[in-house]
Amino acid sequence: MRVGVLALQGDFREHLMVLRELGADAIPVRRESELSQVDGLVIPGGESSVMDKLSRMFDIAEPLKARIAAGMPVYGTCAGLIMLADTVLDAIAGQQSLGGFDIAVRRNAFGNQLDSFETDLDIAELGELPVHAVFIRAPVVETLGPRTHALGTLADGRVVAVEQGNLLGTSFHPEMTDDYRFHARFLDTVRANASVEVASSRGSGEV
C-alpha cells in the first residue's frame, strides 16, 4: 500500500510525516506518473485557488478527477476539502474544484488568518476522546448531499468534517496536532479499498 500527498502547494510535508509515522509508504505527488503509483491520496491545506491553478499547470487535474471518480480514497483537509467539493460557493473568478464530494463549501468561512481558532470536537466515529481541531482560514460545509455523512460539527451546528464512501474531509488541520485518528481512519479506508480491488482482480482472472 502506497499513499500520496498532493505536493503542489501547502503543508504537504506535515501530512507525509504523519502518514509515515503511522507506517504508510507515503510519497509526494506532483505529476500523473506519481499519481499512478498510489492507492490513496491526501490533499493538504494551503490556498485552494493556487492549488487549482497548479494542478492544471502540472496536467494532473484531469487524472485526479478520473481517479476520484474511479473510487480512489482521498482525504482533503482545509483547502483540500474545497478541492474535493462539487460546489464552491464563493470561488474566485475562474477557480475550479476536482469534485467528488456531494457538498457545497464556503471558503474562509471564519474570516482571515487573525480569526484562526482551536476547539474540541466530539467525533463519535473516532471514539469518546474529543478531537482537538485547529482552524486556519477554514472552509465550512454548508450543504450536504444525500450520499454524504457529517462526522463533526461545531457547537453552532456548522459541519466541519464529512465522509462519503472513500472520501474523507475536514475543515481543520489534524496534521498540526498529535492526534492522528483522522489519518488512521483514512489509511483504514485505503487498505479496505486495496483489498477489494485485489479480490476483484483475482475473481476476474487478472494477474
Active site residues: 78, 173, 175
Contact between residue 113 and residue 137 where contact means Cβ atoms under 8 Å apart: yes
Beta strands in the chain (DSSP E): 2-6, 25-29, 40-43, 74-77, 85-88, 101-106, 117-121, 131-135, 140-144, 149-153, 159-164, 167-170
Q: For residue 75, give the nearest of 181, 206, 1 by alpha carbon.
A: 181
Give the gyration radius of the chain's Cα atoms.
16
DSSP class per residue in 135-172: ESS--EEEEE-TT-EEEEE-TT--EEEEEETTEEEESS
